[in-house]
Structure 1
């Protein structure tokens, strides 16, 4: 009798694990210009541009989040303009939010993982499920705790030989040295195919102090979104340089909310 092809899938490897608790919030990082548009629209929407890399990869319009970690960065070089400065939205947990798929890494960088991922494997082979519990199971299985996951500290796990996708992933996240990939290989991606409302659905927004100084912007974020405003200062003309600072700000927020136990 032929083997059920689902037996050794990535999702099967984590299926019996207890989810790491508490569940972490979704985060979405964008540039300042997009944040300003969101103040009027009050919703994040899938990218429906059929020519975009994101659309072409999965052949559908999707909205991308990271599970707990604000790892997104876009290297635009030195642009000393607030329109390019990074802003991070930390979203409230919402079981009604329809999740299309969960992946254990940033899917946009999949081609950069070729050193660790077997050439026969496709990004869809790493689908973990369609719920945040799937994300929490990835955390408990490969990192142990929420705090270890947030800090990018994987366990020394060696999956059994038949679980080839899980084995490749474990090798990828443990790789050290001068690499062509960054910490997004250790950051769980959550894809949504429907618009996500921001009204009373945002826990916190990490953004440049220059934005926080505007009273109307603060009003929308605090009163309409129901979010805490967490400012940061920019000291260089490189927007991507703020990622480390944003990590520290979100770390403080998650720690104060009990996310790390």
Structure 2
């Protein structure tokens, strides 16, 4: 009998792993697009550089993990606006990945992961696998959001893993690694791709996080309150764009708390 590699999707589908409720999904966009998003009342699927010829709308599970190009002294419109979604009925999912595919495609992932083909990690469109993925590598959604992965030994004890599971072990190492300049929170964030525009409906939009300068813009607050109860803001500080992310993460957590989301 010849050896056979075990893919992550197959492993999660066939294993007896708990399936907790997924944390909310989060979409981030430069605030230069905020007014247009409010006007259209939707998140627009954009032409994708990774999956050529496709228009996709990207969300990350639990965290505002998307990061564009850093800027040393950003303006308010360069800062992210964040939309926190919890769908009663999820939009049609095109693909799920256990990390940011853009970061993988641009070689911002470690070599022990990029030794494998990116598509080997695709989880298909079954959102139940999100909960299983979280259970396998983090135990609980709270630990996933806090990026506290379980030890490799624990995974090996609970599941019989050998070198046919190398991709599964590589992903576990990715989740355990700390952030560096070229390798950040996107590594431990589950990516959800939707192949169409996503309407912003009050029953789906838990809250938004925007730079506070936009709250002083006529029509922004009033329009957003028609779409969600919770608007959180953060200040433009004399910091780089990337240094604003702790404020954004705190604001997302405040939305969870106000909306009664127990993670």
- CA 217–256 in structure 1, closer or farther in 2 if over 3 Å, else same: closer
Trace 1:151-170 onto structure 2 (pairs within 5 A): 151-157=146-152, 158-159=155-156, 160-161=161-162, 162-170=164-172
In structure 1, the residue corresponding to 2:26 is in which secondary structure?
Answer: strand
TM-score, with structure 2 as normaliser:
0.86
Q: Tell me if structure 2 keeps the 8 A contact 1:47–1:55.
A: no
Structure 1, unmatched stretches of 5+, are none
Alpha carbons of structure 1 residues 12 and 195: separation in structure 2 relative to 1, 3 Å: same
The yes-or-no answer on 1:208 pairing with 2:204 is no
CA contact (8 A) 1:212 1:229 kept: no
Alpha-carbon displacement from aligned partner over 1:138-166 (angstroms, at most 9, x marks no partner): 11110111111111111113451122211
Q: SS at the partner of 1:63? A: strand
Gap change, CA 1:86 and 1:126, over 3 Å in 2: same
Helix, strand or coil for the counterpart of 1:97?
Answer: coil
Q: Find the aligned partners of 2:205 and 2:178 in 1 and give their Cα distance.
A: 35
Give the alignment's Cα RMSD to 1 decimal.
Answer: 2.2
Give the conservation status (yes or no) of the 8 Å contact 2:230–2:255: no
Task: State how far apart, in whole Å, the 2-side matches of 1:11 and 1:115 are.
Answer: 21
Residue 112 to residue 81, structure 1, CA distance change in 2 (3 Å): closer
CA shift, 1:211, in A, is: 1.0
4+ aligned runs moved over 4 Å, structure 1: none
Question: 1:70: which partner in 2?
Answer: 64
Paired residues in the alignment total 251
Worse-matched range after superposition: 235-244 or 167-176: 235-244
TM-score by length of 1: 0.87
Unaligned runs of 5+ in 2: none
**1:124 CA drift (Å):** 1.1
